[in-house]
Amino acid sequence: MSLDHLQALEAASVMPTYKRMPVEFVKGEGALLWDDEGREYLDLLAGIAVDNAGHCHPAVVAAVREQVGKLVHVSNLFYTAPGMELADRLASSSLGGKVFLCNSGAEANEAAIKMARRHRPGGEFVVLEGAFHGRTMGALSATPQAEKQGPFEPLVPGFSSVCADPDAVRAAITDRTAAVLIEPIQGEAGVHPIPDAVLEAARSACDVTGALLIFDEVQTGSGRTGNLWGYEGTTVVPDAMTVAKGLGGGFPIGALVTAEKIGSPFLAGDHGSTFAGGPVVAAAALASLEVVSEPGLLAAVRSEGARFAASLRELPGVKAVRGRGLMIGADIDGDAPALVMRALADEALVMNATGPHTLRFVPPLVISPAQLDSALTRLARLLAT
């Protein structure tokens, strides 16, 4: 099918919630993508921080092929091995408590919000200004951005936002607070790491008031920052975290994971999801998790991320560079969305902009040093013109 035909189908039948770039991808391998005309692209976006193990990693493909030929779905009324093994792997590699599997980041945050209400009935929620926690009504209520929330009011009551300042955060958390929900690095806002002092203030206020400190690791999890989980790169351990995006090797999955001391505030029948933890996505996630947990890969994410960020700082028109591992934001002088379009058309480089002057780099974690060098060469050309 030609791109023209796809665009005609979109115009006729697809709700216009996305502004797609004019390219049809048909194949991927590692950090490379190919369009329908055979042109090769270098991917610095990874399906928005999802394809952490790289496109079509052989281990993920093999795990999915094997599982899909055996059993696809039976529901959570029965046992299947991949979902149980995945929950065990998630808990044992992180906070050691209990896991609720679901299908996306927003769903993981919905589960976290409901769980916090079970923990403190009627309790309220504190989030940080600039946060993005998803598009469903609960997650949207936790996303204090007027243009995203405005058209869909009234929102879920009980959410308040506070600036990322230790004193302000301490003051906002009271004995009525059920949970504080924080991205350790705000991704959609333009890759803004939250200072440890702010996380520590939230941690101590939660300890005093009994509120839960929940990290939204939908974007920072699954190796993205050079640790398996983003909190490992901070001075704070949360009571729970939500993960999704990079967890499933490209397949849709999310999870809420609690610390051992929290266990499960949920009781039987409190929450559920028909597809959650299905055998195929869970098999994909187990295979992908194996890839991104590899210590050599995580070390490379840290060192290559630091090298890429340092090189970015030297490029013309780059004003600031932030981030950790291979989650990097760069503020530029020029028009970032226009540069993203030129990158695609002129340099076969896939990336995105989180704002009018901010670029975000979240490539597959398996990207090679030579591919990152090639990206820098292409970016230098783009920024120079």
Q: Which residues bind ligand PLP (CB under 6 A)?
A: 104-106, 109, 132-134, 183, 187-188, 216, 218-219, 244
Smaller CB separation from ligand PLP, 199 or 382? 199
Q: Tell me, yes or no, if 196 is annotated catalytic.
A: no
CB-closest chain residue to ligand PLP? 105
SS (H, E, C) 79-119: CCHHHHHHHHHHHHCCCEEEEEEECCHHHHHHHHHHHHHHH
Question: With contact defined as beta carbons under 8 Å apart, do 100 and 151 qualify?
Answer: no
Q: % helix / strand / coil in the chain, to the nearest 5?
A: 40, 20, 40
Helix (H), strand (E) at residue 66: helix 58-68
Contact 45, 358 (CB under 8 A): no
- Catalytic-role residue among 216, 239, 251, 361: 216
Shortest distance in whole angstroms from residue 62 CB to ligand PLP: 25
Classified as helix, coil or strand, 164 is coil
- Residue identified by tokens 């149980």 is 84
Whether 19 is catalytic: no
Beta carbons within 10 angstroms of residue 333's beta carbon: 11
Both tokens of 291, joined, read 């890839």
Least distance (Å) between residue 383 CB and ligand PLP: 26
Q: In whole angstroms, how close is the CB of 76 to ligand PLP at the nearest point?
A: 20
User: E strands of the chain, at which residues?
Assistant: 25-29, 32-35, 40-43, 96-102, 124-128, 159-162, 177-182, 185-186, 192-193, 212-216, 240-243, 254-259, 318-324, 327-332, 349-350, 352-355, 358-361
Tell me how far, at minimum, the Cβ of 108 lies from ligand PLP, in Å. Answer: 7
Judged by beta carbon, residue 218 or residue 301, the one nearer ligand PLP is 218
Catalytic residue (one of 43, 51, 125, 132): 132
**Min dist. Cβ of residue 308 to ligand PLP (A):** 20
3-state secondary structure at position 22:
coil
Residues in the chain: 385
Q: Which is nearer to ligand PLP, 43 or 217 (CB)?
A: 217
CA atoms within 13 A on the CB side of 189: 20
335 as an active site residue: the answer is: no
Which residue's CB is nearer to ligand PLP, number 47 or number 123? 47
CB of 200 to ligand PLP, least distance (A): 20
Q: Which is nearer to ligand PLP, 323 or 383 (CB)?
A: 323
Catalytic one of 125, 245, 266, 308: 245
To ligand PLP, the closest distance from the beta carbon of 148 in angstroms equals 12
110 versus 347: smaller Cβ distance to ligand PLP: 110
Contact predicate 286/89, CB 8 Å:
yes
Between 18 and 78, CB nearer to ligand PLP = 18
Catalytic residue annotation:
132, 216, 245
